[in-house]
Amino acid sequence: MSFKPSLSKEMSSELSKCFRCSFCRSQCPIYQSKLNDTWNARGRMMAVQLLREGKISLDDKVLDRIYTCALCKACEEICPGLVKVSDIIKEVRCQLAEAKKGPLPDHLKMFENITTTKNVLAMKARPAELQEAIERLPQKADMILFMGCVAQYVYPKHLLTLFKLLEQSKTKFTVLRDELCCGSYLADLGLAKEAREVLAETGKMLKERGVRKIVTLCPMCYNTLRNDLPELMSTPKMEVQHSTQVLDEALKKGALTISRALPMKLVYKDPCHLGRYAEVYDAPRNILRNVKGAELIELERSREFSRCCGGTIRVPYSDLRNDLCKKFFDDAVKLRVDGVVTACPSCFHNLYSTAPYDIKGVFDIVEILGYATGIVEKIPFYEY
């Protein structure tokens, strides 16, 4: 199949900065799973260049290399040339989409889901428990808690606990009852136009409702609302925070107090979109350090070098996702930790779905804080 990406001037210059040093092999999670350089960031960059030069043609193999990049940015942390690998991959995906040569059929289903159900998971209705709690929230508030697809439809308990934590800390908030997917997945898949359309709808809602502040549970929503929305449309000034930042502040101000001990050896898994994308490394750690009895352990690969869970490529590459999670757990098991904590519903889903028996529990950080503050009696999915 003939396909020659014509990169923008900026991305061409980014691509030319890759001098094939291969440092990325030390970080790229997909390379470490496959042990084949064509799956490494270097290989992907070379593949893009080879496509441009017409030296390779677009086939399933090349498409795989383009769509298995988890956009985790781990390679960018080590890259001596500071190549914006994920931006290049995203631009190539956009061009594939424009040329109707991508994304993959499973990816297109995600877009279809959003159009029909407003969420990427094609869920028809929110779980009753969450819906009831939403009904109890005020109609209007300066602050919106943007719930995100995965938490709303798969892990509503995380949201319910976050509601309680915010209420406890006297934070006035509501949600968008007609919340729509932020479109982050679509943008990552190169469906730029579709992603913009979806995000514009959210932007319109936020504008109409005079929202001044947005808090998100999902790091992907966080980046989309914080970075992409202001680029897309002019809105009144809106502060965007991740829930860990809000909760960290609440603890510091004494608006939340720890009342219960959790004697566990915990490791914090930095979500790529909260860590490398947004450099929010300390807020979640501060929260965990506040929890009495909990011992926070750092993995050899943490913070900017944290391993990716493969959430962005789970569809359709679930085998790769499994392997990426396995590598993360191998590190954690080596340190004999009791539990893994994360601050991203997608990371939670991937880790929870693949956790080995050696790990006693996988937690979202709000659940840990909910338990430690005495707001919830037990941590969901974990019989403490």
Give me the residues that bind other proteins (CB under 8 A), please.
16-17, 19-26, 35-38, 42-43, 46-47, 50, 55-56, 61-62, 65, 78, 80-82, 300
Structure tokens at 376: 């919830």
Minimum separation from the CB atom of position 164 to other proteins (A) = 40
- The smaller minimum CB distance to other proteins, of residues 54 and 293, is found at 54
Minimum separation from the CB atom of position 60 to other proteins (A) = 11
- The smaller minimum CB distance to other proteins, of residues 79 and 143, is found at 79
Structure tokens at 105: 């059929």
Minimum separation from the CB atom of position 331 to other proteins (A) = 10
- The smaller minimum CB distance to other proteins, of residues 17 and 213, is found at 17
Minimum separation from the CB atom of position 14 to other proteins (A) = 11
- The smaller minimum CB distance to other proteins, of residues 50 and 137, is found at 50
CA distance 152 to 131: 9
Minimum separation from the CB atom of position 23 to other proteins (A) = 5
CA distance 84 to 92: 13
CA distance 41 to 48: 11
- The smaller minimum CB distance to other proteins, of residues 43 and 183, is found at 43
Instruction: Write the secondary structure of 168-231 as one string of H (helix), E (strand) and C (coil).
Output: HCCCCCECCCCCCCCCHHHHHCCCHHHHHHHHHHHHHHHHHCCCCEEEECCHHHHHHHHHHHHH
CA distance 173 to 186: 28
- Cβ neighbours of residue 208 under 8 Å, at least 6 residues apart? none
- The smaller minimum CB distance to other proteins, of residues 1 and 261, is found at 1
Minimum separation from the CB atom of position 215 to other proteins (A) = 32
Please name which of 174, 272, 173, 268 lies closest in space to residue 219, comparing C-alpha atoms.
272
Please name which of 334, 368, 339 lies closest in space to residue 351, comparing C-alpha atoms.
339
Torsion, Cα of 290, 293, 295, 296 (10° steps) = -20
